Amino acid sequence: MQALRSGCGTMGPQLLEFERQMGHRTRRTHAIGVNSGSLAIEISLRALGIGVGDEVLVSAFGYSANVNSILHVGAKPIFVDIDPATMNMDPLAAEQKSTPKTRAMLVAETFGNPAGFRDLIALCSRMEIPMIENGTEALGASYGVDNVGRFGRIACFGFFASRPITTGEGGMIVTHDDHLAAACRAMRHQGRVDRFSFPDQASELGMKMEHAYDGYDGRLPEMNAALGLSQLLRLDETIARRSEVAQSYTRRLGGESDILLLNPPQDCKMSWSNFVVRLSDRFTKDDRDQIIDGMHRLDIGAADWWPCAALLPHVRKITGHHPGDFPLAERLSHRTIALPFYETISEREIDDVCQTLKTLMARVGANRQEKKDIG
């Protein structure tokens, strides 16, 4: 209500405080609010000078925003298959895919799991390229002494409705690099040098019109920033509750031989953004889709999470990739199911979800065996 009554629609005190708190939370010097997580990635790529003719290493398994952002700046996505144990980019495969044109690595913590990131960081150091970290699925997580948001030279977050904190739509860039921060701030505001560069000028009197880049209408409105700030201040409480929900699912599904669960490193504190299970290789993509359809018929939410990014239709038209090019990412994408995951879900609802999942898996398996016997 303060944001609504202030008369300031954007670039005001709510955004400044939200950015300050995000910088504190991620232990970064600079935080720059923008109006979507995908724009945060795109601006980060541009701030690093990445564009036409450059190659960016990116996981073959992940959200479409990663590859779309690379395409939007004119660079070429170089897809890397995953490590099946971590579900993140395989460091050895990434090194093999690198060329003299490789300018950056864009990497995300799959389902919030930072396993394997130390090897990826070491690879970026050897190759002398920056890591752009998409920490959207893991805000608040830590791995040893480091926290999500500090692994890359620059890190991005999205605040979509399903995340531990949401602004409805919105995103944030965090970095320790003064030059990158200044570039990102300008690009989110149509390339204009913002008031941070004029500390002696009162914000309510307007801004000097100095342009340093071409840019975007990428500002995060004050109302969205106020919502994000209020939720960020209780993030620890949210993480704790989501961890309880994840543990409830794990207790019910952990003993199922045909269900594979996320296995984060021992020294990892998870921040659960969603709860995704993986079916064993005994199940096919069609089996998985039948199970999802069955859950929908019973009014239980479920989704395939994620499709193989390297084989998205618009990506294939550009890259020419075909099924079979990324066998591990494809195998994973054919067998994942995202289950209902939110803080107010009850133990009874979790029971219903898990029992329905197990019943449908048994039914699909029995039908397949029956067809095999008939054949």
- The C-alpha angle 278, 283, 285, rounded to 5 degrees, equals 80
Q: How is residue 374 written in tokens?
A: 């008939």
> Which residues partner with 30 through β-bridges?
175
| 44 lies in the same domain as 190 | yes
Residue 245 and residue 215 in one domain: no
Q: Is the pLDDT of residue 209 over 80?
A: no
Number of domains in the chain: 2
Looking at residue 56, which CATH number applies to its domain? Answer: 3.40.640.10
Query: Does 9 score more than 90 pLDDT?
Result: no
- Tell me, what CATH number does 353's domain have? 3.90.1150.10
pLDDT digits (tens, 9 = 90+) for 113-168: 999 999 999 999 999 999 999 999 999 999 999 999 999 999 999 999 888 899 99
Show which of 178, 197, 232 is a domain's final residue: 232
- Which residues does 58 contact at the CB level (< 8 Å), separation at least 6? 66, 67, 70, 77, 78, 79, 80, 89, 105, 106, 107, 309
As a whole number of angstroms, the distance between CA 355 and CA 347 comes to 12
Q: Is pTM, for the whole model, over 0.85? A: yes
Last residue within a domain, chosen from 169, 202, 232: 232
Helix (H) or strand (E) holding 292: helix 285-297
Report long-range pairs for 265-269 (Cβ below 8 Å, ≥24 apart): 265/114, 265/115, 265/143, 267/143, 267/144, 268/113, 268/114, 268/115, 268/141, 268/142, 268/143, 268/144, 269/141, 269/142, 269/143
> Among 94-103, 206-215, 223-232, 361-370, which stretch is predicted with the lowest mean pLDDT?
206-215
Q: Omega of the bond prior to 272 within 30 degrees of 0, cis?
A: no
Last residue of a domain, one of 232, 248, 278: 232
Task: Give me the residue label for tokens 């970026």.
Answer: 124
DSSP state of 198: -
Statement to judge: residues 248 and 279 lie in one domain:
yes
Q: Are strands 146-147 and 142-143 parallel, antiparallel or unpaired?
A: antiparallel
Which secondary-structure segment (H or E) carries 94? Answer: helix 91-97
207, 240: one domain: no
Q: Coil, helix or strand for 276? A: strand
Range of the domain at 176: 2-232
Q: How many Cα atoms occupy the beta-carbon half-sphere of 261 within 13 Å?
A: 17
Residues 285 and 140 in one domain: no
Judge contact between 227 and 325, C-beta under 8 A. no
Does residue 335 contact residue 273 with C-beta atoms inside 8 Å? Answer: no
Same domain for 47 and 125? yes
Q: What would the pLDDT profile of 337-365 be if each residue is shown by its tens digit? A: 999 999 999 999 999 999 999 999 999 98
